[in-house]
Amino acid sequence: MVGCSSDGDGSKVLSKIAMNGGHGEDSPYFEGWKAYDNNPFHPTQNPNGVIQMGLSENQLCFDLIEDWIKNNPKASICTADGVENFRNITNFQDYHGLPEFRQALAKFMARIRGNRVEFDADRIVMSSGCTGASETLMFCLADPGDAFLVPSPYYPAFNRDLRWRTGVQLIPISCHSSNNFQLTLSDLESAYSKAIESGVKVKGLILTNPSNPLGTTSDVDTLKALLEFTSRRKIHIVCDEIYSATVFAPPVFTSISEVMREVECCDPCFVHFIYSLSKDLGLPGFRVGVLYSYNDAVVSTARKMSSFGLVSSQTQLLVASMLSDGDFVERFLGESPRRLRDRHRKFVEVLGRVGIGCLKGNAGLFFWMDFRKFLEEETFEEEMRLWRVIVHDIRLNVSPGSSFGCAEPGFFRVCFANMDEVTADVALGRIGAFVTRWHGDKNLRLSFKSLKSGDENNNSLSMTSPHVMSPRSPVVIARN
- Considering only residues 309 through 348, tell me which ones interact with other proteins, judged by CB under 8 A: 309-315, 318
Task: Name the segment binding other proteins (CB under 8 A); options: 104-112, 140-148, 184-192, 256-264.
Answer: 140-148
Rg (CA), the chain: 23
Q: Does 234 bind other proteins (CB under 8 A)?
A: yes
CB of 414 to other proteins, least distance (A): 19
CB of 238 to other proteins, least distance (A): 13
Q: Which of residues 15-44 bind other proteins (CB under 8 A)?
A: 15-19, 23, 25
Return the residue of 31, 37, 57, 382 that touches other proteins, per CB under 8 A. Answer: 57
Task: Name the segment binding other proteins (CB under 8 A); options: 257-265, 380-388, 433-441, 463-471.
Answer: 463-471
Q: Does 13 bind other proteins (CB under 8 A)?
A: yes
CB of 88 to other proteins, least distance (A): 9
155 is known as an active-site residue = yes
Task: Name the helix (H) or strand (E) containing 411.
Answer: strand 411-415
CA-to-CA distance for 229 and 270, rounded, in angstroms?
Answer: 12
3 state SS of 117: coil
Q: Which lies closer to other proteins via its Cβ, residue 309 or residue 357?
A: 309
Task: Name the segment binding other proteins (CB under 8 A); options: 71-79, 219-227, 249-257, 341-349.
Answer: 71-79
Return the residue of 50, 77, 202, 348 that touches other proteins, per CB under 8 A. Answer: 77
By rule CB under 8 A, what count of residues binds other proteins? 90
Q: Which lies closer to other proteins via its Cβ, residue 350 or residue 478?
A: 478
Residues 178-191 as b or e (16 or more Cβ within 10 Å = b): eeebbbeeebbeeb
Q: Which of residues 109-128 bind other proteins (CB under 8 A)?
A: 128
CA-to-CA distance for 126 and 133, rounded, in angstroms?
Answer: 8
Task: Name the segment binding other proteins (CB under 8 A); options: 84-92, 184-192, 205-213, 214-222.
Answer: 84-92
Residues 314-349 as b or e (16 or more Cβ within 10 Å = b): bbbbbbbbbbbbeebbeebbeebbeebeebbeebbe
Q: Give the active site residue among 29, 36, 154, 155.
A: 155
Task: Name the segment binding other proteins (CB under 8 A); options: 32-40, 59-67, 174-182, 238-246.
Answer: 59-67
CA-to-CA distance for 427 and 410, rounded, in angstroms?
Answer: 19
Q: Which lies closer to other proteins via its Cβ, residue 39 or residue 59?
A: 59
Q: Which of residues 151-190 bind other proteins (CB under 8 A)?
A: 160-161, 164-165
Q: Does 422 bind other proteins (CB under 8 A)?
A: no
Answer whether 371's CB lies under 8 Å from 416's CB: no
Q: Which lies closer to other proteins via its Cβ, residue 212 or residue 218?
A: 212
Q: Does 463 bind other proteins (CB under 8 A)?
A: no
CA-to-CA distance for 307 and 305, rounded, in angstroms?
Answer: 5
Q: Does 2 bind other proteins (CB under 8 A)?
A: yes
Q: Does 381 bind other proteins (CB under 8 A)?
A: no
DSSP 394: I
Q: Beta strands of 187-242 (E only): which ranges?
A: 202-208, 236-240
Return the residue of 27, 40, 49, 69 that touches other proteins, per CB under 8 A. Answer: 69
**Cα distances (Å, whole numbers) of residue 342 to 219, 365, 423:** 23, 12, 15
Q: Does 351 bind other proteins (CB under 8 A)?
A: no
Rounded to the nearest 5°, which phi and psi values hold at 174?
Answer: -70, 130
CA-to-CA distance for 170 and 133, rounded, in angstroms?
Answer: 17
Determine the distance from the C-alpha atom of residue 406 to the mean position of all C-alpha atoms in its chain, rounded to a whole number. 15
Return the residue of 36, 41, 243, 286 that touches other proteins, per CB under 8 A. Answer: 286
Q: Does 139 bind other proteins (CB under 8 A)?
A: yes
CA nearest 294: which of 271, 275, 273? 271
Q: Give the active site residue among 279, 280, 356, 431.
A: 279
CA nearest 58: which of 480, 351, 399? 480
Q: Which of residues 292-311 bind other proteins (CB under 8 A)?
A: 295, 297-298, 301, 304-305, 307-311
3 state SS of 164: coil
CB of 145 to other proteins, least distance (A): 11
Q: Which lies closer to other proteins via its Cβ, residue 51 or residue 283?
A: 283
Q: Does 79 bind other proteins (CB under 8 A)?
A: yes
CA nearest 315: which of 5, 71, 97, 66? 97
Q: Does 424 bind other proteins (CB under 8 A)?
A: no
Answer whether 360's CB lies under 8 Å from 216's CB: yes
The span from the first CA to the last CA of the chain, in angstroms, equals 39
36 is known as an active-site residue = no
Catalytically annotated residues = 155, 240, 242, 279
